[in-house]
Amino acid sequence: MLDIENLHVAYGPVEVLHGISMRVEPGSIVGVLGANGSGKTTLFKAVAGLVRVTQGNVRLNGHDLTNVSTQSIVKQGVTLVPQGRMLFPEMTVYENLEMGAYLLRDRTEFSRRLEKVQQMFPILKERSGQMVALMSGGEQQMLAIGRALMGQPDLILLDEPSIGLAPKIFDQILSTVVEINRERKTTIVIAEQNVRKILKIVDFAYVLEAGKVAISGSADSLSSDESIRRAYLGL
């Protein structure tokens, strides 16, 4: 279980997260919703060890991950798929997938994981030797998720996967997210502005506003409450 309690983060003198608390149950899909600037990306960076937490704590299955190194957090089973994908464009698809398993020394296990990822995303096998810079946005997003899966994480933080994607391609990505969750039992936290589509796949959601949790609830309760839909979700 991911447990975030009273989390504060600042960039210099400016505090951007103001006491966020969240709980993510194992095996669930949880949405973190909100407009640009609401704090979604900073929250993910704090969990992944990329920005310093000034107050509060982050725990995974009882282990304190607050201000722990990113490598240690990855070893605990947490992987971030960042906004913009952050791939290595001048490297091949295969080399990028290798980077996702950089902690793994067992080549037999590497081959097993690679085969599973390529079964999920056949295009990554077809384009194995291709430079990433030549791939479409949708293909790059598949690669970013595939790279994350190579580390065999227990928890994936998926930040704004819809950016730069056509609606049809984004729908395919979301279908894959659900498949990963169901087949691998991987816990997934997904940050998005596309509220309507995200609420169709998540179990629970948190709506951020100006660095705070404005409201939270099950996908059904958020979708069915007319006042919440208008005030926070833009539906």
| Shared domain check, 101 and 31 | no
| Shared domain check, 180 and 67 | yes
Q: Looking at 55-69, 94-108, 202-216, 220-234, which range is the least confident one?
A: 220-234
pTM of the model: 0.91
Q: What is the spatial distance between Cα 191 and Cα 205, in angstroms, rounded to a whole number?
A: 10
pLDDT in tens, 63-94: 999 999 999 999 999 999 998 878 988 899 99
Q: Where is the domain boundary, 152, 180, 197?
A: 152
Question: 46 lies in a domain?
Answer: no
pLDDT bucket at 226, cuts 50 / 70 / 90: confident
Domain that holds residue 138: 87-152
Q: Where is the domain boundary, 106, 133, 152?
A: 152
| Shared domain check, 60 and 5 | yes
Question: 124 lies in a domain?
Answer: yes
| Shared domain check, 211 and 118 | no
pLDDT at 231: 65
* 217 phi, psi to nearest 5 deg: 165, 175
User: Above 80 in pLDDT, residue 139?
Assistant: yes
Contact between 202 and 30 under an 8 Å Cβ cutoff? The reply is yes
Tell me the CATH number at 30: 3.40.50.300
| Shared domain check, 185 and 69 | yes
Q: What is the spatial distance between Cα 46 and Cα 55, in angstroms, rounded to a whole number?
A: 11
Nearest to 32 by CA among 51, 4, 61: 4
User: Above 90 in pLDDT, residue 206?
Assistant: yes
pLDDT bucket at 39, cuts 50 / 70 / 90: very high
Question: 134 lies in a domain?
Answer: yes
Tokens of 233: 């979700």
pLDDT at 215: 92
Q: Where is the domain boundary, 152, 174, 199?
A: 152
Q: How many CA atoms lie within 13 A of 29 on its CB side?
A: 23
- Give the chain as a DSSP string: -EEEEEEEEEETTEEEEEEEEEEE-TT-EEEEE--TTSSHHHHHHHHHTSS-EEEEEEEETTEE-TT--HHHHHHTTEEEE-TT----TTSBHHHHHHHHTTT---HHHHHHHHHHHHHH-HHHHHTTTSBGGGS-HHHHHHHHHHHHHHT--SEEEEE-TTTT--HHHHHHHHHHHHHHHHHH--EEEEEES-HHHHTTT-SEEEEEETTEEEEEEEHHHHHH-HHHIIIII--
pLDDT in tens, 156-192: 999 999 988 889 989 999 999 999 999 889 999 999 9
Place of tokens 């194992």: 26
Question: 15 lies in a domain?
Answer: yes
How confident is the prediction for the chain on average, in pLDDT?
Answer: 92
